[in-house]
Amino acid sequence: MANIFDKLSGASKGVADMSKNASDTNNLKRKIAYEQERILEVMQEIGKHYYSNPNGDYTALCEDIDDRKRRINSMRNELQSIKGFRICSKCGTKFDEKYTFEFCGKCGAKLLSE
Ligand SMILES: [Zn+2]
């Protein structure tokens, strides 16, 4: 009897891990989609302001977009690491999970750790 329960709990643990990965992936995809929508909105905002005031200062709005793009980048990296890949955020080289070095083998940038 004990054996069966061991097997059952082992199996359900595996399923829980898998669905955790799947929900992490979905979460990240949702967040990336959200940031992409926000970038479009901010761009529209800039367009409207620029139309009425071409000499205005749009630095803050542009920085907001840059921030969101950075966030999207690191979330994409996270997505890849869930799938077992790591991508260099600088040159875009892809490494599989066997590549354990801290720095990109191509450009030397620091790879984001999992
Ligand atoms: Zn690189």
Q: Which of 113, 64, 69, 109 is nearest to 89 (CA)?
A: 109
> Ligand 1 centre from 71 Cα, in Å?
18
- Per-residue pLDDT reduced to its tens digit, 19-59: 677 788 889 999 999 999 999 999 999 999 999 999 999 99
Helices (DSSP H) in the chain: which residue ranges? 2-52, 59-82
- CA of residue 52 to ligand 1 center, whole Å: 42
Q: How far is the CA of 63 from the centre of ligand 1 (A)?
A: 24
What is residue 24's predicted lDDT score, i.e. its pLDDT? 84
Higher pLDDT, 45 or 79: 45
Give me ligand 1 centre to Cα 15, in Å: 35
Select the more confidently predicted residue: 57 or 10. Answer: 57
**d(Cα 24, Cα 45) in Å, to the nearest integer?**
31
Ligand 1 centroid, distance to 64 Cα (angstroms): 25
> Is the pTM above the cut of 0.95?
no
